[in-house]
Amino acid sequence: MRNLILKMRKNFGFTFVLFVIMACFSVKGLAIDFKAGTYYIDNTKLQYSNIKFVVETNNLTRVYNMSKLEDKDWWKVELLNDVNNVDGYCFINSNQAAGTYTRGIEDFLETLSLQSPTFRHTKVRNSFLPEAQYPIGWVFCPLNIGEISDGYWRPIESYCVTPSHTLPIIYIDTQGSQTISTKDYYINGTFWLDNCGIEGYESLGSQESPLEIEIKGRGNYTWFYMYKKPYKVKFINKQSPLGLDRSKHFILLHNDDWSGRLRNETGFELSRQLGMPYTPRQIPVELVLNGEYEGLYFLCEKIRVESGRVDIMEQQDNDSNPDNATGGWLLEIGYDDKKPVVIEQFENNDITNNWFAFTSNSPEVLSQVQYGYIHNIIHRADSCIFVPDKTDTGWEEYFDIKALARFYVIQEVTENVESFSRSLIMYKDYGWNEKLHFGPVWDFDNSFYLDNNSCDHFIFEYELPFSFLWIKELLKFPRLQQKIREVWKEFKENEVLQKINEHALQWRSTIEEAELNHERVRWPFYSGAHDMNSPARYLDKISRKVAWLDAQWSVPVGDVNCDGMVTAADVTAIYDYMLMGDETYSKSTCDINGDGDITAADITALYDIMLGN
């Protein structure tokens, strides 16, 4: 059985995981009720010719007639009585007579489909989804055109909301007003940006002279399960919108989360404060897509091998030269269907959650030579991590320890519980001796884990289905512990907690008007993003987590080598710094007496600490 499951994982990757998730969503939850009143469907995309509203109650399917409005292509159904205990509902394009049918909705739809090969309907919905809580008078809005169309409910007033003009506005029009329904390929469109007179930002293009772009969907959970979609934007020529690094490639994120949209930005700011080589920048904007206001978005730099981003040698696709295969590499533990390098890990004979797959974002198409090289590097690194002797330094031949320590502290402070198992990015520059670097940081959607509101846990201690044993094992190495203490000392000395809290409050102030008075009307059921009390909860949790981490990683005065103790080894460390310029230890750590210089007086002060004076 174990071998069978592992084989399935290798062959299907994320498809297997997605199948499990979708299977869970297909099980009907608690039934919902439709109160008596009028409901609508927006037919402008579907262009159904005769629409019926269909609901299932107690394994009976009821069909209700709908009528077209005179002034626009909306249809309405008037429920004269409450419809209780609804297990699922949809809209169909059919002349089927209204009435009650003695079978479930899935069987009913299958029968109609067999009767007519052109039969179309929207997806069957049930109470697992947020629109189960919509009020009377709302409109069902289809997202795509197809044999089975997806969609969501929205209030009538959401069709009238306009940008706040407190943020830059991006206007995108797709060719022929096509719906962006896939992340598999780009469609053509135009782009222009109005800075709305905001100081520090420049407009780009204009309504009369927009820029040509290509656009497609992006994301995994956010693309498949959220109705407000994220997008990838590709300019024909390199641009620097709103001062972001010049490139063709950008992302429009929506960052809808309970923290009041603070998660990603706080993780990014922490990365900048701790001196990571590159951190993506994002700027809040409002988006108008095909003439319709889509709410608050964040224009973000896409992580890629490029000057100003991950600035390493770019390796060509499908290159068979062994020297070239050494780099550069941009890797990700993710969900792509590219040929992955799979790592299988076992803990207590458990295979349910201890596997992960590296895919290559650059290069994208691998030759056998390239695949063989990166496969060997990752598997050798994996074997070096799980050695019984944790004083062994073989793993450091493969990983940049400084980058790992900084990356870990960022993930731990933000309590990013999936950080070492999903959306983990690593890079390696060209050269046989170049190491793997953790970063840049990305995706804090699962940070500040609130299912357990306590803060006395390391991130790898949570019992979650996406655990990643690398970090749990790496933290057993004293050399990494030492480097983490050095990073933590910088964190405290530079007052990083205060800086990121101040940044978070300024960020909230910037987006507040657009979010409360415009975004909330457009997407009312994203309650977490609109919870104005959530930033306070968020800042409280980050402060409590930092206080707990300080007890774990704080460096005692005199602990020059940051091993958690003050011993004769620290005296040797100061000598190494003074006489040989050994930069293994920081100046601030060696400056025991705090006079700004490293001299024999610091050794005397260290001896006093050791003797308890």
Under a CB-based contact definition with an 8 Å cutoff, are residues 68 and 74 in contact? yes
Q: What is the DSSP string of 345-370?
A: --BTTB-SS-EEEEEEEESSS--HHH
Of the candidates 165, 56, 172, 161, the one whose C-alpha atom is nearest the C-alpha of residue 106 is 56
Q: What is the mean pLDDT of each run of 10 residues along the chain (613 residues)?
A: 36 37 42 91 93 94 96 95 91 95 94 90 77 81 84 91 96 94 94 96 97 94 84 97 96 81 92 96 97 95 95 95 94 73 62 70 94 93 92 94 96 89 90 95 83 76 71 91 91 93 92 88 71 72 91 78 75 78 69 79 77 72
User: Tell me, what's the pLDDT at 131?
Assistant: 61
Q: Kind of pairing, strands 60-65 and 329-333?
A: unpaired
**Ordered strands of the 341-344 beta sheet:** 341-344, 355-362, 329-333, 424-428, 437-438
**Residue 526 to residues 30, 292, 530, Cα–Cα distance (Å):** 20, 18, 7
Cβ within 8 Å of residue 243, ≥6 positions away: 200, 201, 202, 283
Record the pTM: 0.85
* 407 residue type, one letter: F
Alpha carbon distance 473, 56 (integer Å): 51
Q: What is the DSSP string of 95-159?
A: -PPSEEESS-HHHHHHHHHHH-TT-EEEPPB-TTSGGGGPPTT-EEEE---SSEE-EEEE-GGGG
User: Tell me, what's the pLDDT at 28?
Assistant: 45
User: Tell me, what's the pLDDT at 143?
Assistant: 85
How many CB atoms sit inside 10 A of residue 602's CB? 22
* 352 residue type, one letter: T
Strand-pairing partners, residue 62, are 55, 100
Q: Kind of pairing, strands 424-428 and 292-301?
A: unpaired
- Please report which helix (H) or strand (E) contains residue 84, including its range: strand 83-93
Cβ within 8 Å of residue 300, ≥6 positions away: 250, 251, 252, 253, 280, 281, 282, 283
Alpha carbon distance 243, 236 (integer Å): 18
Helix and strand numbers, DSSP H then E, in the chain = 15, 24
The DSSP 8-state label assigned to residue 595 in this structure reads S
Alpha carbon distance 278, 309 (integer Å): 6
Alpha carbon distance 75, 310 (integer Å): 51
Alpha carbon distance 105, 62 (integer Å): 9
User: Tell me, what's the pLDDT at 60?
Assistant: 94
